[in-house]
Amino acid sequence: MTGRERLLKTFRGEKVDRVPVCPWVYNNLIYRYFDIPPEKQVWRVGNDNIAEKTVEVHDYFGFDHLHRLGTPRHVYDEKSSNNGKWKVEVEFKNINGRDTEITTIKTPEKELKQVKKFDQTSRYTYVEAITEYYIKDQDDFNQFIKYQPSFEEAIYPAIKDEFENLGKAKKALKDKGVVVSYLHGAFNILNMYRNLELIMMDPYTDLGFYKAMIEYFSNRSFEIIKKMVNHGADIIEIAANLATSAVGEKFFENYVLEYEKNLIEKIHSIGAFDIYHNCGDADKIMHLYNNIGTNAWGYLTPPPYGDVDLDKALKVINKNIVLIGNIDQVDFIVKASPKEIKEKVRNLLEKVKPRGNFILSTTDWFFDNTPFENIKAFSEAGLEFGYY
């Protein structure tokens, strides 16, 4: 059975020879493997052949190829959206030792401002965070409705080469695996434009405003998803890590579920699968995942970085939904011995194989200080103990 067959059959709920081994591989592991120094890493522009390099890294460690790193990086980027009534200016500064990107959108009526901070947390890892958001009130959002160019006419032509990396990834993979594109879900996308604390209050202070935003940006996300699938994405991974158990069961059921379900249905309508990505707390809401129509849920994060009890998840989640994850990479994979890692993986697989529909994964990406021998042990154990 080829890697591509194994993964596609898993997502279809069909029998396979063994559990796929697919940890969450991020750019930093690729840069570390090839020892690409920070000054040569490309995080804001370009793709420095990372699609092809990712295949080599997967082969080295023995992973099944759930290839996420052909994903276009600037799909929510307003830098390319200039037209007569939607003018975008970007300025880079170093403020208090932090790289800072200041984006100003000018419409005929007002200016909208976003501030984003970048930090190099280790040699191979950069993180970013928005500290000021475009949408501070309803009038700011109205500017998007009135003046924002469509993704098709504005951003896509400027970053078409990034979408073509999906095709490069698929060509490099051949029959080894599948291409996954990563995008924010209906709720997560709001936090690209508006502060999360305000988003959490919006349904109670102005439900119409909240609905208008989540519908508008969710529809725009689907514009992007169609392009991803057209360029070769087999699976769309939907970021859903903001609407965790912390929002509460009722909030999720009343203000999130409907919109996530609609987006997932649209993804399936164009022939792609989905992964619903909540890598944090899920205990209070995971039973609702049965109602959103997802193909797969990751990443069953156990304490202390999540609250998912695997035994409970195996009972609660419908058996037609693929479960992904459960191996902690924050502490355990970093500090455990290869022997301990193999034992942990073996015990996990013994528990999940009777159910089936499982993909062995970490709960998020490998940190830079993760010993390569530990990553190897994770993979070797999956290959040894994963056969049904």
CATH value at residue 253: 3.20.20.210
Range of the domain at 301: 3-77+159-385
Domain assignment present for 293: yes
Tokens describing residue 116: 């984003």
- The percentage of the chain sitting over the pLDDT mark of 90, rounded to a whole number, equals 83
Global confidence as pTM: 0.95
Tell me how many domains the chain contains. Answer: 1
Where the chain has pLDDT below 50, the residues are 44-47
Amino acid, res. 231 = H
Instruction: Tell how strand 273-277 and strand 87-95 pair up.
Output: unpaired
Give whole-number Cα distances, 255 to 266, 284, 327, in Å.
19, 15, 30
Domain assignment present for 292: yes
- Contact yes or no for 269/231 (Cβ under 8 A): no
Q: How much is the pLDDT for 43?
A: 53
Give whole-number Cα distances, 347 to 21, 48, 275, 352, in Å.
15, 39, 24, 9
Domain assignment present for 180: yes
Burial class (CB in 10 A: 0-12, 13-18, 19+), 108: exposed
Domain assignment present for 49: yes
Tokens describing residue 177: 């695996």
Give whole-number Cα distances, 67 to 43, 174, 238, in Å.
18, 12, 15
